[in-house]
Amino acid sequence: MELVFREKPTANQWWDWRWQWEHAAHTLEEAAAYLGVSPEKWGHCRRGESAYPLFVTPYYLSLAESPSLDDPILRQCIPSDAEVDCQEGGEADALSEEACSPVPRLVHRYPDRALLVTGNLCALHCRHCMRKRDWGRAMAPLSQGELTQVVEYLRAHPQVREVLVSGGDPLMLPEANLRMIIQALSSVASVEILRFGSRVPCALPQRITPRLAAILASGKPAWLACHFNHPRELTREVQAACDILNRAGVCLVNQSVLLKGVNDDPETLGRLFTSLLRFHVKPYYLFHGDPIQGAMHFRTGLEKGLQIMDQLRGRISGLALPAFAFDLPKGAGKIRLQPEQCLGKDENGAPLFRSWQGNVLPYPQGCGRD
């Protein structure tokens, strides 16, 4: 939608990530002013804002089609009192990341993969964030001393082939810090892949410059896990960002979260997944929401996700279908789920399967003659 500005930005300013950053909304009043509504209409958001602060760029706000808080874009970035009121069963660190941290900033849960937390600075405060516990912390960027400990740990554990560089958002680090991290991790001979988790291509695509892309590609093979949740987030600015990353040799995948009131229907997710392919981004995961304090009102239940995946099967390309997954509590790891298609056996003992059209057919098991 058309935003309201005291002084309308030029095209150059709009495409400058620094301008976007400097003019980001930090309060309900600032966000409401951009959308041309009275903040009094958002009185039911005050306690949510107090518990979990707001931060959103003008660019991301402009993706909304209306100032209604039911808009799928605003639902992802404007606080709600449900973040405080409807949180039974939620935990601050439901995945026990801190308990799985052998050295500061590193989470090692799977044998061949580790997660590096670089800080808590983000281009957008996503209301469904799994690390909302970090928003109020004073967390400096990863220090040289902490990075040295991480590198020593990785060298002592050569089974770790892949490091996921996360945050916060690593693409919001000063370029010198990001380059230092990439060089250090790439110096570990047993590390083969660096995977960066970032909301920047979605929330602040102007930040993706040829220089930043070259830094990402300067070490071990780089993969960037984007985070798009709604087809309206795929804009010309995003297309430009993805083109820059692709040209630099950075491989792109997407991790979406299934969010109630945002994308919990097959039509929306089908458009998102198929559109991502046109941007050279492979849909990788569709996550069921974690039981995180401040985000429980977004959860749909696993059955809803399975129903959506079943409705998409056969109706969109297999390339566009991500894996539907959730994380077990206490750091026990991911579980991938798919709709049940085996429906028992027929009178001859052949297994019965349900096709994407809904037909139930036997599948012959005979191996033939030798």
Catalytic residues, by residue number, are 109-110, 113, 122, 126, 129, 131, 290, 327, 334
User: What are the CA-CA distances from residue 62 to residues 27, 37, 66, 67 (Å)?
Assistant: 16, 14, 9, 10
Residue 153 near residue 199 (C-beta atoms within 8 A): no
Residue 68 near residue 93 (C-beta atoms within 8 A): no
What's the half-sphere exposure (Cβ side, CA atoms, 13 Å) at 230? 20
SS3 349: coil
Strands of 351-354's sheet in order across: 342-345, 351-354, 360-362
The string over 274-283, giving b where at least 16 C-beta atoms fall within 10 Å of a residue's C-beta and e elsewhere, is bbbeebebbb
Which pair of structure tokens corresponds to residue 2? 């058309």
| Residue bearing tokens 């695509």 | 205
Q: Which residues contact 351 (CB under 8 A, 6 or more apart)?
A: 342, 344, 345, 362, 363, 365
Compute the distance between CA of residue 168 and CA of residue 171 in angstroms, rounded to an integer: 9
Compute the distance between CA of residue 183 and CA of residue 16 in angstroms, rounded to an integer: 27
